[in-house]
Amino acid sequence: MSEIRHYGYIRVSTKDQNEARQLEAMQDLGIMERDYFIDKKSGKNFDRPQYQALKNVLRKGDILFIKELDRLGRNAEEIKREWQDITHEIGAHIVILDMPILDTRQYHNGLEKVISSIVLELLSYMAEREREKINGRQNEGIAAAKNNGVVFGRPKQAISDDFIMVYEEWKQGSITAVEAMRRVEMKPNTFYRRVKEYEQQKQVG
């Protein structure tokens, strides 16, 4: 049986000044410098080469220490995916130092699956809330833009004389719908949509 290894993961941004705090936490646990992985994010870049390297060395039974849950990902959906990958696919333990309940080592006889399920459900809820907030902001932005006269969607194309001529022949029964579509080079959905638009224009006119 291979030796159980202890690893630490640290992620910091240029605005984040808690690298020292995270490092101190790893050192207090006795994790050797070679066994903790540090990613530094700058601006919008979220590449995590050290995190990927860490996942490549993690083995079943190993223990991964992380100071805070949000170090695992940018949002709840990503955190959920990484939690599942590490605990279920790799079979390693995760210990979140700032949340003692999130220590998969302390759960046995199936309880580890229960706690993982609770965590994943919580993260799913958080992810859904995040999506609702984003959608809400988008809808507010669209509504504000419309109030300012911004038009969304593809602009309608003008009905061509060729289309009108073919339309009239089709309506009179001189040609079939298939022949009409062939002549105007339109797919069925497009053809019938244009027919509807033209007929609406005629009614208004």
- Residues with Cβ within 8 Å of 183's Cβ and at least 6 positions away in sequence, in order, are 162, 166, 175
Question: Hey, where are the domains in the chain?
Answer: 6-129, 161-204
The model's pTM: 0.57
- Residues with Cβ within 8 Å of 152's Cβ and at least 6 positions away in sequence, in order, are 142, 145, 146
CATH superfamily for 6-129 is Resolvase, N-terminal catalytic domain (3.40.50.1390)
Highest mean pLDDT among 14-23, 137-146, 168-177: 168-177
Q: Dump pLDDT digits (tens) for 61-115.
A: 999 999 888 888 877 778 888 988 998 899 999 999 988 878 888 776 666 667 7
Residue 155 has a pLDDT of 57
pLDDT band at 2 (very low <50, low <70, confident <90, very high): low
Residue 61 has a pLDDT of 92
Q: On the CB side of 25, how many CA atoms lie within 13 Å of its CA?
A: 18
Catalytic site residues?
A: 13
Residue 101 structure tokens: 């309940």
Q: Dump pLDDT digits (tens) for 170-190.
A: 999 889 999 999 999 988 888
Q: Cα separations (Å) of 186 from 31, 101, 170?
A: 67, 61, 14
Nearest by Cα to 69 from 45, 93, 99: 99
pLDDT band at 51 (very low <50, low <70, confident <90, very high): very high
Nearest by Cα to 66 from 121, 120, 12, 115: 12
Furthest-apart CA atoms within the chain: distance in Å: 87
**In 3-state terms, what secondary structure has residue 38?**
strand
Residue 170 has a pLDDT of 92
What's the whole-number mean pLDDT along residues 123-148?
A: 71
